[in-house]
Chain A
Amino acid sequence: MGYRTINEANEAVIQKIIAAAPFLTDVVPAKSVIPELEDCVLLHAGPPIKYENMTDPMQGSCVGAILFEGWAEDEKSARELLENDKVKFIPCHHVNAVGPMGGITSPNMPVLVVINKESGNEAYCQMNEGIGAVLRFGAYNEQVINRLHWMKDVLGPVLSKALKTFDGGLNVNVLIAKAIAMGDEFHQRNIAASLAFLKELSPVIASLEDVEKEQRTEVIQFLADTDQFFLNIAMATGKAMMDAARTIEHGTVVTAMCRNGENFGIRIAGMGDEWFTAPVNTPQGLYFTGYTAEDANTDIGDSAITETIGVGGMAMIAAPAVTRFVGTGGFNDALEISNQMTEICISENPNFVIPTWDFKGACLGIDARKVVETGITPVINTGIAHKIAGYGQIGAGTVHPPIECFEKAITAYAEKLGFKG
Chain B
Amino acid sequence: MLYTIIKENTYKDSIVLMLLSNKLSAIDGVNKVSIMMGTPANKDIFKSSGLGTDELEKAKPNDIVIVVDTDQEEKVDEVKEEVEVALKGESESQNTSKGQEAHNWKRAMELANNPNLALISIPGQYAAMEAENALNEGLHVFMFSDNVSKEDEAKLKQKAHEKGLLVMGPDCGTALIHGVPLAFTNNVNEGDIGIVGASGTGIQEVTTIIDRYGKGVTNALGTGGRDLSTEVGAITMLDSIKALNQDPKVKVITVISKPPAEEVQRKVLNVLRNIEKPVVTLFLGDKPSYQEENIYHAYTLEEAAVVSVQLSNGDKPNFEPTTAENVNVLLKDSQVGIKGYYSGGTLATEAAMLVKDAFKDEISEEKKDGYILKTKNHEIIDLGDDVYTQGKPHPMIDPVNRIEMIEKSVKDPKTAVIMIDNVIGNGGHDDMASALAPTIKRILDSARQEGRKLVVLATVVGTAQDFQGYEKQIDILKESGAMICKTNDQMVRTAIQLVGGKVEQPILDVQKFEYTQEDLVVDEKIMSLINMKPSVINIGLKSFTEAVQNSGSECVQFNWRPIAGGDEKLMKVLQFLNYYEGGTI
Contacts and interface: CB of A to CB of B under 8 A. Distances in A.
Interface of A: 2-6, 9, 250, 252, 270, 343, 369, 372-375, 407, 410-411, 413-414, 417-419, 421
B570 A411 contact: yes
B85 interface: no
A360 to B, nearest CB: 14
A261 B565 CA distance: 26
Given A414-B577, A419-B576, A2 B585 contact: yes
- 7 nearest A-B pairs in the assembled complex, by CB-CB distance: A373-B563, A414-B573, A419-B576, A250-B585, A414-B576, A372-B564, A411-B573
Given A2-B583, A250-B585, A417-B585, A369 B572 contact: no
A419 to B, nearest CB: 5
B508 interface: no
Interface in B75-96: none
Given A343-B107, A417-B585, A6 B577 contact: yes
Contacts of B103: 343, 374
Contacts of A3: 585
21 contacts: A4-B581, A4-B582, A4-B585, A9-B585, A270-B585, A343-B103, A343-B104, A372-B564, A372-B573, A373-B104, A373-B574, A375-B62, A410-B573, A411-B569, A411-B570, A414-B573, A414-B577, A417-B576, A419-B572, A421-B572, A421-B576
Contacts of A343: 103-104, 106-107
Contacts of A4: 581-583, 585
B577 A410 contact: yes
B584 to A, nearest CB: 7
Contacts of B585: 2-4, 6, 9, 250, 270, 417
A417 B584 CA distance: 8
B569 A421 contact: yes
Interface residues of B, number: 24
B582 A417 contact: yes
Contact of A374 (B563, B581, B582): B563
Given A5-B581, A410-B573, A375 B564 contact: yes
Given A5-B581, A414-B577, A372 B570 contact: yes
B568 to A, nearest CB: 9
A6 B106 CA distance: 17
A410 B104 contact: no
Given A410-B570, A421-B572, 15 more contacts: A2-B583, A4-B583, A4-B585, A343-B106, A369-B577, A373-B564, A375-B9, A375-B62, A375-B564, A410-B577, A414-B576, A417-B576, A417-B584, A419-B572, A421-B573
Contacts of A2: 583-585
A419 B573 contact: yes
A9 B573 CA distance: 17
Contacts of A6: 577-578, 580, 585
Contact of A413 (B9, B570, B577, B581): B577
Contacts of A250: 585
A193 B103 CA distance: 36
B109 to A, nearest CB: 13
A252 B577 contact: yes
Interface in B397-449: none
Contacts of B576: 414, 417, 419, 421
B570 A417 contact: no
Interface string B558-572: 000001110101101
A415 to B, nearest CB: 8
Nearest to B561: A375
Contacts, number: 70
Given A372-B564, A373-B563, A5 B580 contact: yes
A1 to B, nearest CB: 10
Contacts of B567: 407
A5 B580 CA distance: 6
Contacts of A410: 570, 573-574, 577
Contacts of B580: 5-6, 417
Interface string B318-346: 00000000000000000000000000000
A145 to B, nearest CB: 46
Contacts of B577: 6, 252, 369, 410, 413-414, 417, 419
Nearest to A403: B565
A413 to B, nearest CB: 7
A252 B577 CA distance: 9
Contacts of A414: 573, 576-577
Contacts of A421: 569, 572-573, 576
A2 B581 CA distance: 11
A372 B574 CA distance: 8
Contacts of A373: 104, 563-564, 574
Contacts of B106: 343
Contacts of B570: 372, 407, 410-411
A192 to B, nearest CB: 33
Contacts of B564: 372-373, 375, 407
A369 B571 CA distance: 10
A366 to B, nearest CB: 15
A317 B547 CA distance: 38
Nearest to A419: B576
A411 B574 CA distance: 8
A358 B563 CA distance: 30
B300 to A, nearest CB: 48
Contacts of A252: 577
**Residue picked from B563, B564, B565, B572, most chain A C-beta under 10 Å:** B564
Contacts of B584: 2, 417
A413 B573 CA distance: 9
A372 B566 CA distance: 10
Contacts of B104: 343, 373-374
B148 to A, nearest CB: 20
Contacts of A411: 569-570, 573
A419 B570 CA distance: 11
A20 B581 CA distance: 28
Interface string B98-118: 000001101100000000000
A410 B577 CA distance: 8
Contacts of A375: 9, 62, 564-565
**Residue picked from A343, A373, A411, A418, most chain B C-beta under 10 Å:** A373
Contacts of A270: 585
**Residue picked from B107, B577, B584, most chain A C-beta under 10 Å:** B577
